[in-house]
């Protein structure tokens, strides 16, 4: 049978087109921040809310002073802290207890729950300044992590530094970006709020995500990236479909070339 007679059969074209369609993912499904030309002239203000501390958080608190006498007194206090321990293996780390308090030997119990890092920092400076001169305080989260799972190149648990505002795109950069088969339209963020796990969904293909209240992540968030439905069906039902599609697409191309040569 000649190649030309094969090429004339309509089902041959139909099968070829279907195989090529199955093996490809439209660019619209993989592009970030899609918008029109007019929208590109607009600016987008990302929503950011300072993280509120909660029970179970660990705070790194470093207290120091330029005054020699004060510094010596503070060093003595830090030695007490280290020997007592505070449910942590880290130096100068304090656990916010179930009542929402931390305990410092210098000033006793301090309420930390529902305060921001800056607010607890300012509170400590105010209280310590009543007893010590020229006090400096540095506070940050000791266990701020964000986890990303699913269709990313490097899933895992990433450290969130206390001064950072980590956006969803920052996290994707750390995770080596999304895989092509990732569903960018429904990225799920799992967040614990008042001991309840809540799920938020954002669309990375829309430029409006820059204004979304979940654009910036919070400590202990879990981000899950689902696969596209078409890809999920293809790989589960026919695990070798991608390979077969490539082979058949190659054969189709060769048939076209041979037909053209034999005219």
For the chain, how are helix, strand and coil distributed in percent, rounded to 5?
A: 35, 25, 40
Q: pLDDT: is 12 or 141 the higher one? A: 141
Structural domain including 72 reads 58-141
Strand pairing class (145-150; 222-225):
parallel
Share of the chain above pLDDT 90, in %: 34
- 148 and 136 in one domain? no
Taking only the tens place, the pLDDT of each residue in 182-216 is 999 999 999 998 889 999 999 999 988 988 999 99
Give Cα separations from 180 to 20, 169, 176, 218 (angstroms): 16, 16, 12, 26
Residue 9 is assigned to a structural domain of this protein: yes
- 148 and 44 in one domain? yes
Of 141, 170, 190, which residue is a domain's last?
A: 141
- 193 and 153 in one domain? yes
- 192 and 256 in one domain? no
Taking only the tens place, the pLDDT of each residue in 99-120 is 999 998 778 899 999 999 999 9
- 151 and 80 in one domain? no
Question: How many domains, in total, are found in the chain?
Answer: 3
Give residue 73's pLDDT.
Answer: 62
- 170 and 158 in one domain? yes
- 94 and 70 in one domain? yes
CATH number of the domain enclosing 76: 3.30.1950.10
CATH number of the domain enclosing 36: 3.10.560.10
Residue 257 is assigned to a structural domain of this protein: yes
pLDDT at residue 249 above 60?
Answer: yes
Residue 254 is assigned to a structural domain of this protein: yes
What global pTM score does this model have? 0.67
Long-range pairs for 161-168 at CB < 8 Å and ≥24 separation? 162/60, 162/117, 165/48, 165/216, 166/216, 166/217, 167/46, 167/215, 167/216, 167/217, 168/202, 168/204, 168/209, 168/214, 168/215, 168/216, 168/217, 168/223
Give residue 88's pLDDT.
Answer: 40
Residue 53 is assigned to a structural domain of this protein: no
241-261 helix and 229-237 helix, angle to the nearest 10 degrees:
90
């Amino acid at each position: 049978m000649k190649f030309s007679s094969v090429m004339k059969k309509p089902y041959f074209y139909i099968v070829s087109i279907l195989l090529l369609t199955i093996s490809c993912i439209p660019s619209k499904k993989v592009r970030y921040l899609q918008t029109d030309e007019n929208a590109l002239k607009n600016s987008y203000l990302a929503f950011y809310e300072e993280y509120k501390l909660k029970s179970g958080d660990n705070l790194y608190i470093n207290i120091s002073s330029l005054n020699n006498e004060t510094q010596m007194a503070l060093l003595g206090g830090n030695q007490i802290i280290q020997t007592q321990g505070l449910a942590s293996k880290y130096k100068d780390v304090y656990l916010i207890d179930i009542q929402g308090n931390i305990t410092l030997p210098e000033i006793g119990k301090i309420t930390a729950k529902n305060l921001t890092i800056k607010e607890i920092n300012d509170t400590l400076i105010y209280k310590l300044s009543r007893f010590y001169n020229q006090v400096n305080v540095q506070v940050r989260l000791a266990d701020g992590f964000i986890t990303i799972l699913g269709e990313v190149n490097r899933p895992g648990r990433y450290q969130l530094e206390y001064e950072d505002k980590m956006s969803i795109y920052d996290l994707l950069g750390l995770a080596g970006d999304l895989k092509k088969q990732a569903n960018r339209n429904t990225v799920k963020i799992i967040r614990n709020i008042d001991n309840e796990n809540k799920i938020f969904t954002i669309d990375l293909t829309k430029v409006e995500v820059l204004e979304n209240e979940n654009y910036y992540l919070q400590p202990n968030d879990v981000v899950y990236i689902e696969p596209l439905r078409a890809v999920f069906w293809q790989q589960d039902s026919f695990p070798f479909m991608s390979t077969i599609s490539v082979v058949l697409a190659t054969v189709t191309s060769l048939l076209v070339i041979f037909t053209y040569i034999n005219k």
